[in-house]
Amino acid sequence: MRLRIVLYIMFIYFVPIEVNAEAPLTAAFVRDHQLWIKTEEEEVQVTKGRYVQTPKWSHDGRFIAYIDGDAHGEKSDLFIYDTKEKESFQPYQIETSDYKWSPIKNQLAYNSHGVLNVTKMKDGRPKGFENVALGVSGFEWFPNEKEFIVSSPSSLRPTGWGPVPLYKIPINANLDKNKMESFYTIKTSEPDLFGINADFFKWSQDGKWVAFLLIPTASWSMDSNTLCVLSSEGKQFQSVGNMLGFKDWMKWAPSANQLAYISGEGRFYVENKKTTIADMPAAIQQKQYTPEGYVDLDLDWYSPDKVIVARSKENKEWDEGPVPTMFTALYAIDIKTDEQTQISHPKKNELDRQPQVVGTNITWLRQDGKKIDLWMKKGLDGQEYKWIENIEEGPVFLQP
């Protein structure tokens, strides 16, 4: 009997208990040009003496890739911070501004002066590199991690600009021309569908569609770019609408083939910037949600039915002099009922921008002059509060 009681106690003690607690909220951010990591309420500075820009988490959260640059934009060295070994290292001496982690493993791809490369692995860390392809202007991993979608710039001919080619290239192509598969060729024409480059590729949640921007010549692109979608087989192509060249102004829904974007032409934010949702595959089925007299200047999906936007009143009276500041606040749009509710409340001379949804949390930047803090709230009805003070730009969150 005594032995039976002891075994019963041991059984109770060692049975695993499932806890449905959320993973701790973790973000990498830049303060005073240095890389920091915050988990819950603990902040840790992880670099010194650098000029950090554009941190990006690896898929499992062990590594953070970032650029060590300078104030003049003349330097762009790629570094990786290892959170396990707590040190920064260079996978190779690389200059780049376009780098992306594999969606399923700790392999980093980067474009350096038109050459697409992928890192090798050594002792469990990205180290060294292999060439993939030449003549690359934009790229993204395919969801299966085995290939890249790659764009090359259009060629200027005596008759005008030529088409924009897209390729499907395996990660082990190693510059072999026979492995470069033509994926789709965008036949451009002025002014209906004009562009000399394609970039900012984003896959839909189910991997059946990829959205991207068709980008015209430099001055033109400041006022308008064409948002396009292409099927994963490279067969169905559609131009969706016109927008400015901000990659965060277009986002796929979390569980449907719906593409939210901020439509409108003109480089100034004072008017004509509307939250628009296009349903695939028929992108002609589109609806605008921004009320008359307002502009939306940032967005993110909160749920399959709700979109968070940064909204301000239009300023059509302005036509010269310094460009006016657009004092945005966050609004939630219910795309089924059209109900729209203000969910953040900045003070006078403050503006809320760059909403990011992380799990059930809504985060955003609150700016007062040059001072920028990160605020958040739990759900649409939660109490807003400051989470990170003195931040240079929006953080990147380690997704659970």
Tens digit of pLDDT per residue, the chain (400 long)? 444 444 343 433 333 434 345 678 999 999 999 999 999 999 999 999 999 999 999 999 999 999 999 999 889 999 999 999 999 999 999 999 999 999 999 999 999 999 999 999 999 999 999 999 999 999 999 999 899 999 999 999 998 899 999 999 999 999 999 999 999 999 988 778 999 999 999 999 999 999 999 999 988 999 999 999 999 999 999 999 999 999 999 999 999 999 999 999 999 999 999 999 999 887 678 999 999 999 999 999 999 999 999 999 999 999 889 999 999 999 999 999 999 999 999 999 999 999 999 999 999 999 999 999 999 999 999 999 999 999 998 799 998 6
Domain range for 63 is 32-112
Task: Name residues whose C-beta falls within 8 Å of residue 42's C-beta, 6 or more positions apart in sequence.
Answer: none
The angle subtended at Cα 282 by Cα 281 and Cα 287, nearest 5°, is 120
Residue 4 lies in a domain: no
At residue 179, the 3 state secondary structure works out as helix
- Domain closes at, from 268, 288, 308: 288
Count of domains observed in the chain: 3
**Inside any domain, residue 254:** yes
Domain membership of residue 11 (yes or no) is no
Residue 21 lies in a domain: no
Instruction: Tell me whether residue 374 is in a domain.
Output: yes
Kindly state whether residue 26 falls inside one of the protein's structural domains. Answer: no
* Burial readout 107-124 (b: 16 or more C-beta within 10 A, e: otherwise): bbbbbbeebbbbbeeeee
- Find how far residue 179's CA is from the centre of its chain: 29
117: in domain? no
For residues 303 and 278, membership in a common domain is answered with no
Judge if pTM exceeds 0.85. yes
* Co-location of 194 and 275 in the same domain: yes
Q: Do residues 338 and 268 share a domain?
A: no
Q: Are residues 385 and 358 in the same domain?
A: yes
Question: 81 and 215: one domain?
Answer: no
Q: What's the pLDDT at 266?
A: 95
Same domain, 100 and 190: no
Q: Find how far residue 350's CA is from the centre of its chain.
A: 24
Strand, coil or helix: what is 29? Answer: strand
> 248 lies in a domain?
yes
- Listed residue (104, 126, 130, 93) closest to 115, CA to CA: 130
**Is residue 155 domain-shared with residue 284, that is, in the same domain?**
yes
Q: Which of 68, 97, 112 is the last residue of a domain?
A: 112
Q: What is the pLDDT of residue 65?
A: 98
User: What is the model's pLDDT at position 18?
Assistant: 40
Same domain (yes/no): 276, 158: yes
Question: Is residue 177 domain-shared with residue 38, that is, in the same domain?
Answer: no
165 and 234 in a common domain: yes
Q: CA angle, corner 223, sides to 217 and 229, nearest 5? A: 75
Are 273 and 296 within one domain?
no
Which pLDDT value is given to residue 190?
A: 79
